[in-house]
Structure 1
Amino acid sequence: MEKQNSRYRWVVFAAVLFAYFLIVSQRTAPGLITDQLMVDFKVTASTIGLLTSVQFLAYASLQVPIGLLSDRYGPNLFLIVGALLNGIGTVMYSLAPNEYFLLVARLLVGIGDATIWVNLVLILSQWFKVKEFISLLGFAGMSGSLGFLMATFPFSAWIDLTGWRVAFLTIGILLCLCGFILYYVLVKKPNQLFKQEKKKKTTLEKSESTIVLLRRLVTDRQAWATFLCHFGLVGTYVGFIGSWAVPYGIHMYDMTRSEASQLIMIGLVGAIIGAPVSTWLSNRLGTIKFPYATVHLMIFLSWVTVFLFAGKPPFYLLIILFLLIGFGNGASALTFATVRQYFPMKVVGVVSGFANTGGFLSAVLLPSIFGKILDHFPGSSGYHYGFIIPVIFSLLGLIGGVLIKEKQEGVATAIHVD
């Protein structure tokens, strides 16, 4: 395929990753102004929780439908629309006069966000050969982690300097501009450069009916393996570090809120390292399964270690464990390398959506179950017993890693799948 040998593919790569970086930064940025929103809009904590829930519920519920639509109609349109919806939602958020506008704004952001990762995977699949694709997924994962990093101290400092409305308005405008840039980079320019391929795209064979495809998906061992892999790595990281890491540091180690927030930073550093290192290692070894199963074992043992220390390992060990758990989240990019290697291109989108749903489902379940355990067991014993949950979830991830099937030819020969 000419696209996969052109220099232009690197322009596509840069544009898509920049959009992903900005979009990811807005997933958690509203958490920085929770207290301020409660004062400005005179709303309760439950209303703030509803704003977050609406955003992530939209994200979770649309993963498989977006995958189906992207496989059928192509990923470019959905990535462009997703960036625009994110931008419009973020602008609305910055200008909201009341909590109802905030709710609609976060719903738009959630819908837009739901389109991004699945279509990023599909676009990179189209523009890059499999061996390149695996390495570049690592950099894509790293750009997402950098987006999360931007939504911590840098964005907080920006809000302190200009106020939260100006900061969110600026990012919203940038995201809208990204939508137009993506249209030029993904649609207009390629139509000029690759006219001979435009017709090829319209000759794709008719897809099977949605019901038949979904039935095959939910009975496919490899699809469930990727679902479990993402469930075990992403959910335990996002679910705990994103929700309970700061209270954990405060209550178990007598840290200040600022000191406890550094635990999140440590996890992010691990994630930034984990994405490119794990994909590079997979390419180097010529296999996805072995390094990925090893990562899952490492994460399972990390959570077991925290549990065996009654939720309070020595602080130096805690730092190491948070780095490792973050590394595992970064390595979750190998889930989509597995999808790209094993499944035909016409279903990569829906299988990627299915796998991504696993990670999000885990991230939703873990904080709520962990919170119920904390309510039931007061004090440090609550955290001790609470860590049974990430132990179980990461064990499911390890099972997924073991269940992965690889083509006997290895990664290099998987180039011929297309």
Structure 2
Amino acid sequence: MSLHTPQQADTQRSDDRTSAVPRVASEPPGGPRAWLVWGTAASVYLLAMFHRNGMSAAALQAQERFDVGPALLSVLPMVQLAIYVLLQIPSGLLADRLGPRRSLLISLGVMAAGTILFALAPDARAAVAGRVLIGAGDSLVFLNVIRVAALWFPRRHYSMVSAFTGIAGGLGQLVSAAPLSALLTGLGWEASFLAAGAVNLLVGALVLAVLRDRPDGRPAPSHAFPSVRESLAEALSHRGPRIGMAAHSVIMVPFTVLGVLWGYPLLEEGYGLSTRAAGLLLTAAMVLPMALAPFLGRIPGSRPRLRKPMALVLAWTVTLLWLGVVLWPGGLPPFPVTAAVVLLSAFASVLAPSVSFDYARDGLPEQRTGTASGLVNMCGFTAVMLGVVGAGVLLEFGGADASFQTAFAPMTALCLTASTAMTVLLCRADR
């Protein structure tokens, strides 16, 4: 039996040919109500990004509070990301079955519990348990926010809404940088993270009141869902999700590695900046990209033929910039050079969803995008996790030669591999 009927199937987007997959009879209408529903879901993503990246601003305090070295310190975000990555496929399947509203309510409750545990953790083991819960709750968020976009907006608007979703995540990163650093300095560890946990409950009330799974009059999805194996086979049978997996494994990785843990240590210990100055730089690095993202994010949806060059330029720019940092003779590059690399990495990270997840939807019906999106997210954050841990291990055990320059070598190697794989996939599609 076919996994989807012609009435369910969406138009398969292609850079070089017209798809044979039919379009649904009527697309979601979009409009003000759709933006309100999406905005509510996006507020959950903003909060999740705050929780995900808060370890960067709190890294040095956590090192002192739990009396751990760089390698053990990297375990905190690594465990969180490991849980996030491992749950991407189950989260995608759950998103297809439960719908965004219930999934996001579950995620907020689990993240609140993890944040409270992390705030009150007496030792590193309890802190790790808190980050595990945060990672589990976080794993449900992004997939359901872009699922709201798929269910409430026409297909041509999907990449633009994905770009706005990236902006919401960027705002979460902004709040997790200088504002969280100031909050930790002013209120202390426990009060700051307990307040963050309370915000989860307030956002949960907003989700309960506003968010709905689909526009009025749109049919509910069939309960005859394919098995896990069939869902994975369906997603991987299309070239779009495979390209999205490779693209996400490079475009969003470097700035996410900085945001998750190593941004503050690089700037404070590598360049001697104050905590305030480091926070301001990481905050400023997000502002310009977020301003441009709504305009550039329209490209994959409105001009599909530009999607391929956009993906290639973003991937190879990020890769070559960090290759230059790692291979710079005599140590880290001058500060202005590294600052420019951080800025361009932030720019790529904000645009990553509009490219990666637009490819992920190719050939799939709107009701079953969760699994493909989970695969794309899993690949990207596996690369992030390996980059975070690789840096920590090299800094801890690298001896006298250990430096932030060598610490970013594993991340750069992963970016080079993913860029090459994406280029091969795109070139094969042209044949």
State the TM-score, normalizing by the size of structure 2.
0.80
Residue 341 of structure 2 corresponds to which residue in structure 1?
321
Q: Aligned to 1:237, which of 230, 255, 259?
A: 255
Following superposition, the deviation at residue 228 of structure 1 comes to: 1.3
Give distance in 2, aligned partners of 1:222 and 1:282: 13
Give distance in 1, aligned partners of 2:328 and 2:64: 40
Does the C-alpha gap of structure 1 residues 240 and 367 become closer, same or farther in structure 2, counting only changes over 3 Å?
A: same
Give distance in 1, aligned partners of 2:266 and 2:62: 24
CA contact (8 A) 1:217 1:223 kept: yes
The one-letter amino acid paired with 1:312 is L
Q: Aligned to 1:150, which of 172, 175, 187?
A: 175
Residues 233-254 of structure 1 show CA distances to partners (whole Å, capped at 9, x for unaligned) of 2222222564444444456545
Residues 277-305 of structure 1 show CA distances to partners (whole Å, capped at 9, x for unaligned) of 43134345344222122211222232233
After TM superposition, the structure 1 = structure 2 runs for residues 372-391 of structure 1, keeping only pairs within 5 Å, are 372-374=393-395, 375-376=397-398, 378-379=400-401, 382-391=403-412
Residue 74 of structure 1 corresponds to which residue in structure 2?
99
The one-letter amino acid paired with 2:77 is T
Give distance in 2, aligned partners of 1:279 and 1:215: 29
Does the C-alpha gap of structure 1 residues 406 and 181 become closer, same or farther in structure 2, counting only changes over 3 Å?
A: farther
Aligned length: 399
- Give the secondary-structure state (helix, strand or coil) at the position aligned to 2:29: helix
> Does 2:191 correspond to 1:166?
yes
CA contact (8 A) 2:319 2:412 kept: yes
Does the C-alpha gap of structure 1 residues 94 and 256 become closer, same or farther in structure 2, counting only changes over 3 Å?
A: closer
Following superposition, the deviation at residue 13 of structure 1 comes to: 1.7
CA contact (8 A) 1:139 1:276 kept: yes
The one-letter amino acid paired with 1:298 is T
Greater RCO (Cα-Cα under 8 Å, separation 6 or more): 2
Following superposition, the deviation at residue 353 of structure 1 comes to: 0.7
Following superposition, the deviation at residue 62 of structure 1 comes to: 0.3
Residue 133 of structure 2 corresponds to which residue in structure 1?
108
- Give the secondary-structure state (helix, strand or coil) at the position aligned to 2:297: helix
Give distance in 2, aligned partners of 1:34 and 1:307: 23
CA contact (8 A) 1:94 1:166 kept: yes
Tell which deviates more after alignment, 116-125 or 284-293: 284-293
Give distance in 2, aligned partners of 1:99 and 1:369: 20
Residues 130-156 of structure 1 show CA distances to partners (whole Å, capped at 9, x for unaligned) of 222211211111111111111122122
Residue 279 of structure 1 corresponds to which residue in structure 2?
297
Fraction of identical pairs, as percent? 23
> Does 2:328 correspond to 1:309?
yes
CA contact (8 A) 1:76 1:186 kept: yes
Residue 223 of structure 1 corresponds to which residue in structure 2?
241
Instruction: Pick the structure with more helix per residue.
Output: 1
- Give the secondary-structure state (helix, strand or coil) at the position aligned to 1:332: helix
The one-letter amino acid paired with 1:366 is G
CA contact (8 A) 1:94 1:168 kept: yes
Tell which deviates more after alignment, 220-229 or 253-262: 253-262
Residue 356 of structure 2 corresponds to which residue in structure 1?
335
State the TM-score, normalizing by the size of structure 1.
0.82
> Does 2:134 correspond to 1:134?
no
Residue 376 of structure 2 corresponds to which residue in structure 1?
355
CA contact (8 A) 1:266 1:322 kept: no
Q: Aligned to 2:89, which of 64, 77, 88?
A: 64
- Give the secondary-structure state (helix, strand or coil) at the position aligned to 2:379: helix
CA contact (8 A) 1:231 1:359 kept: yes
> Does 2:390 correspond to 1:369?
yes
CA contact (8 A) 1:137 1:275 kept: no
Give distance in 1, aligned partners of 2:344 and 2:84: 27
Give distance in 2, aligned partners of 1:367 and 1:226: 22
Residues 280-332 of structure 1 show CA distances to partners (whole Å, capped at 9, x for unaligned) of 34345344222122211222232233244335334333332221111111111
Following superposition, the deviation at residue 106 of structure 1 comes to: 2.5
Does the C-alpha gap of structure 1 residues 234 and 274 become closer, same or farther in structure 2, counting only changes over 3 Å?
A: farther
5+ residue gaps, structure 2: 1-25
- Give the secondary-structure state (helix, strand or coil) at the position aligned to 2:225: coil
CA contact (8 A) 1:88 1:176 kept: no
Residue 12 of structure 1 corresponds to which residue in structure 2?
37
Does the C-alpha gap of structure 1 residues 407 and 125 become closer, same or farther in structure 2, counting only changes over 3 Å?
A: farther
Tell which deviates more after alignment, 362-371 or 76-85: 362-371
CA contact (8 A) 1:270 1:326 kept: no
Cα RMSD, aligned residues only: 3.3
Does the C-alpha gap of structure 1 residues 126 and 373 become closer, same or farther in structure 2, counting only changes over 3 Å?
A: same
5+ residue gaps, structure 1: 409-418
Residue 398 of structure 1 corresponds to which residue in structure 2?
419
Give distance in 2, aligned partners of 1:241 and 1:166: 22
Does the C-alpha gap of structure 1 residues 341 and 112 become closer, same or farther in structure 2, counting only changes over 3 Å?
A: same
Residues 2-41 of structure 1 show CA distances to partners (whole Å, capped at 9, x for unaligned) of 852453112102211122112211123245445555666x
Give distance in 1, aligned partners of 2:114 and 2:35: 29
Give distance in 2, aligned partners of 1:388 and 1:100: 29
